[in-house]
Chains A and B, each alone.
Chain A
Amino acid sequence: MKYAGMNAIACLIALCASAGPALARDIFPYPIETRVLPNGLKVVMVPFDSPGIVAYYSVVRAGSRNEVEPGLSGFAHFFEHMMFRGTERYSTDDYNKLFKELGSDANAFTTDDYTCYEAILGNEGLEKVIEAESDRFMNLKYSVSDFQQESRAVLGEYYKNYSRPNSKLYEKLRDTAFTSHTYKHTTMGFLKDIEDMPNQYDYSLKFFDRFYQPGNVVVLIVGDFDPDRVMELIEKYYGKWEAKTYDLLVPVEPEQTSKRTAHIDWENPTLPYLAIAFHTPAFSTKNTDSAGLDILSELIFGRNSPLYQKLVIEDQSAESIRCSIPDKRDPGLFTIISRVKSDDLVEEVKNEIYEAIAEAREKPVDPKKLKAIKSRIRYSFAMRLDTAGSIARSLAHYLNLTGDPNSLNEIYKRYGEVSPGDLQRLAERYLVKHNCTEVTLIGVKN
């Protein structure tokens, strides 16, 4: 990697990592440059051949996990909305006008662990975006009235989502599976807390001060740009951002000791839903557990699994069955959700799921099957990397988890290392009754 032209900038920034020759063995096919400003702001750059187009992402390593105070769930997401409410330099209207002028696709999303601000635009507008983004991250300012108005847009978002049973199901599942950790609430937050948001202006300022600081943010740029020029601009616009720290204490979830259940009566006609979840460890590339659990979910619930074939294709007792284990900074959930064809089949589907899990514990996987799963995981990843935005999304995910973009390469190496024995060990350790939560949702007007 060349750093010609850095000159004065070079003494202001610390070179943390460059991809180097090891890349040839890595799944991520593009060079990654990571640099860190003295104030702690990390900058990750990936030149990619997307003529004239660049993705500019700001990854804030704060999500609903950071909402530790009771009654204040949903603030990370709410804050994502407030970040579009302007500064003294750029009012809301000015900010909107700027992004309109640039023809940018600008948006944001919040997860349990992070908040991500995305802008995809023509590279001629990059300096303007760097200027405006740094300004709102350093100088966000909004009135009480703006804050209260925006809180009602959040309430509207809640209602929009919760006319769908799976949103309600997931909310109940989390609330039941967790007792202490902030993963107990979804990113949207508890409804009662959202309803109270207009009264929490002061807390919003505190939230910004705690988490929107340079050491907790990664700026990620992917596409057609000159890295040295971009670093000059980032130093110019973000260099004065004052470093701060905040020690977040997220409550530790105690080990679950017995099975939990919950039920939702849905007031409209619906197919019944069944959710089953097991606690899992936090994301890590230090061992094969995270990678192994992903493979285990494919083995038991993937589209070519005997269970899927039986329930969805042959018996047709379920319309769908899906398993997900979102990578999390703290221990999360291995979640299976099935939409069952009728109310009287829920028990049968549930029993089939437990039987399939028991088989995964008892019987080693056929090596051919394991090879097919690993192949699918790699091809799925390779086929995703087709735009600057999709590459940025993939990297943002790992930057959130560890702060290190190379975690992406490491986890794919771990996928390669997972053995049949690992899968049995993981099923034995995590997919057990006392670690399980079950939630059902049935339409009362079916």
Chain B
Amino acid sequence: MKTNHKSLILTLMLSVLIFPLSLPSSSLAGEIPVVLLPVENSPLVTYRIQFRVGSIDDPDGKKGLAMLTATLLTEGGTQKRSYDEIIEYLYPMAARIQSQVEKEVTTIIATTHRDNLNKVYSLLMEMLLEPGFREEDFERIRTNLINYLAKQLRGNDDENLAKEALNVFMYAGHPYGTPNQGLVSHLEGLTLKDVETHYKKYFTKGTVTVGIAGADTPKLAERALRDLGRLKDGQSKREPLPEPSPINGIEILAVEKECRSTAISIGYPINVTRTDPDFYALLIANSYLGEHRTFNGVLMIRMRQVRGLNYGDYSYIENFIQEGRSTFPLANIPRRQQFFSIWIRPVLHKNRHFSLRLAIWELEKFVKNGLSRDDFEATKKFLINYSKLWAQNQSRRLGYLLDSKFYGTDDFLKTLPEKLQDVTLEQVNAAIKRHLNCQNLRVAVVTKGAEEFLQDLISNKRSPIVYQAEGIPEDVLAEDKKIGVFELSINRDKSRVAAAAELFE
């Protein structure tokens, strides 16, 4: 076997200075913004080419168009090559070119070993500049998106069903209020012509930002700018988003589905993003309440550790998707409007009412009392250390830099420790009071017997926890008694039951 072995040897030198460069404007560069992350000894090169187009740009009646278009770019043929030829071409290099579509942006992410840089780069440019838009690729991807909504989400994944149901419920009538994958009936009506029109309108010099990480980034940027200069001219200006609809009391969407346990998601829009000074205070507050996949959060401790109700319980102050098997968030899913949410992982049906009461009980304590001095100091210290782990590889660092550009902030990760350091306990507790509440919530549950559960909630039926353990501490049992009758102000008029099959249609 012929192996180019020495070139495969990795000598990642992540200690080199890493910072974004502003590339000087040139006649070639035009107006395209660039974010560079030089990692001079890295064996890998990462491109994140971001377009300011997302699912909010889907026209009425054509929900899913942004996702279908972007997926067709990276999982369809180009003018020169069919998709099977592209697979064959990329295969020996194990290189990846993927699209990621969210509400506001679409990011095309390519990662390659530098041995194969030119080959992968030329394909990336073909995909972006000379898409093939073949009927057979269109059909394949459209069918996959329909199947994702109609089969996968409705029938095969209770936790994501509850999360997506919450999104639809929370943002009803708002541009954020459909899944990024679209709606089944809209997807069925889309045509290849729709895709071509969408591509021409949104994949332009006016919407693109170029992100590159690795060695020789200025040179790579020059080439990328020259090539992407072939994109059409276009506008990047966005209309302001409308305000999400107000929430009055606790509003329930109970999704009926054949299932063995109940998945619960709770949330409401908040008026804070990374651009807001309160964001850093809320970051500390939220970490205390429910840091993702750790045993630090109050929700995790009180629901799982103390009571064994389920596998995990977390909270968030911005859109959060876990990246693969890591415990860290996916980069490049930024939004101009954010939301607070609580994720209760599946609980036994018999404990669903108690679990929802307990989560809101803890939220109420949190909103009323805030953090103690000790909790504040411990959580702040944790976040300052933990955030150093959020971008251990260059692709994630580059993603964070692009997000900083989206929000118009300084390098988020670089400045985070000092910003957290400056936050005071008073600021944290004031930010909680300003932005979070425990009375006006939307709740999506996926359960069996949804109507009965909704009636139990409306009538505030007593719901004692069912343990399968002995020796529960007295103080916990005493608290359980109170939680079992904890009154929730359910807004009966705004609450409803839906069959899983009705959603996303």
Contact = CB atoms under 8 A, between A and B. Distances in A.
A156 B345 contact: yes
A53 B347 CA distance: 36
Contacts of A164: 156-157
Contacts of B235: none
Interface string B114-156: 0110000000000000000000100110011001001110111
B308 A152 contact: yes
Contacts of A373: 92
A105 B386 contact: yes
A144 B308 CA distance: 13
Given A144-B470, A153-B311, A309-B87, A389 B392 contact: yes
Interface stretch (B58-66, B172-180, B196-204, B258-266): B258-266
Contacts of A157: 311
A97 B88 contact: no
11 contacts: A29-B10, A100-B294, A145-B470, A152-B469, A153-B309, A156-B311, A162-B260, A163-B157, A269-B154, A386-B10, A389-B392
A14 B320 CA distance: 47
Given A149-B306, A151-B308, A387-B393, A382 B156 contact: no
Nearest to A154: B311
B448 to A, nearest CB: 10
A385 B261 CA distance: 38
Contacts of A144: 470-471
A64 B474 CA distance: 36
B12 interface: yes
Given A121-B385, A382-B8, A268 B91 contact: no
B311 A53 contact: no
B497 interface: no
Interface of B is mostly: mixed
Contacts of A51: 14-15
A103 B384 contact: yes
Nearest to A30: B10
Given A163-B159, A375-B93, A386 B393 contact: yes
Nearest to A149: B308
Nearest to B1: A416
Interface string B1-30: 111010011111111000000000000000
B345 A149 contact: no
A120 B389 contact: yes
A156 B92 contact: no
Interface of A: 25, 27, 29, 48-53, 84, 92, 96-97, 99-107, 120-122, 125, 143-145, 148-153, 155-157, 159-160, 162-165, 198, 266-271, 302-304, 308-309, 312-314, 316, 319, 341, 371-380, 382-383, 385-390, 416-417, 443, 445
Nearest to B471: A145
Given A96-B296, A371-B2, A387-B392, A382 B113 contact: yes
Contacts of A151: 308, 468-469
Given A148-B308, A163-B156, A341 B143 contact: yes
A14 B174 CA distance: 66
Contact of B93 (A162, A379, A385): A379
A373 B92 CA distance: 6
A228 B393 CA distance: 27
B392 A388 contact: yes
Contacts of B473: 145
B385 to A, nearest CB: 2
A308 B83 CA distance: 12
Interface stretch (B359-367, B375-383, B451-459): B375-383
Contact of A379 (B92, B304, B472): B92
Given A101-B378, A268-B156, A382 B392 contact: no
Which 10 interchain pairs have the tightest Cβ spacing?
A103-B385, A148-B469, A268-B155, A145-B471, A152-B308, A149-B308, A156-B310, A379-B94, A103-B386, A159-B261
Contact of A152 (B136, B301, B309, B327): B309
B501 interface: yes
B278 interface: no
Contacts of A107: 293, 327
A145 B293 CA distance: 23
A303 B84 CA distance: 9
Contacts of A97: 378
A107 B322 CA distance: 15
Contacts of A156: 261, 304, 308-311, 345-348
A379 B140 contact: no
B311 A319 contact: no
Contacts of A153: 304, 308-311
Which among B136, B152, B327 has the greatest number of chain A C-beta atoms within 10 A? B152
Given A101-B381, A156-B311, A386-B10, 13 more contacts: A48-B12, A53-B389, A100-B294, A100-B379, A102-B385, A103-B389, A160-B346, A163-B156, A314-B84, A316-B139, A380-B94, A382-B43, A387-B393
B392 A371 contact: no
Interface string B81-101: 001100110011111000000
B107 interface: no
A44 to B, nearest CB: 18
Interface residues of B, number: 91
B375 to A, nearest CB: 10
Contacts of B3: 378, 416
Contacts, number: 235
B463 interface: no
B1 A382 contact: no
Interface string B284-307: 000000000111100001001111
Contacts of B468: 148, 151-152, 198
Contact of B388 (A53, A302, A385, A390): A53
B125 to A, nearest CB: 21
Nearest to A122: B385
Contacts of B296: 96, 100
Contacts of B112: 383
B104 interface: no
Which among A51, A92, A120, A152 has the greatest number of chain B C-beta atoms within 10 A? A152
Contacts of B11: 29
B392 A50 contact: yes
Contact of A270 (B8, B151, B381): B151
A27 B3 CA distance: 11
A145 B308 CA distance: 10
Nearest to B41: A49
A379 B389 contact: no
Nearest to B91: A304
B260 A159 contact: yes
Given A309-B87, A313-B140, A270 B346 contact: no
A103 B382 contact: yes
Given A49-B13, A309-B87, A268 B154 contact: yes
Contacts of B91: 302-304, 372, 376
B341 interface: no
Contacts of B467: 152
A372 B263 CA distance: 44
A268 B257 contact: yes
Contacts of A377: 94
A14 to B, nearest CB: 30
Contacts of B88: 304
A155 B5 CA distance: 47
A212 B143 CA distance: 49
A335 to B, nearest CB: 19
A103 B43 contact: no
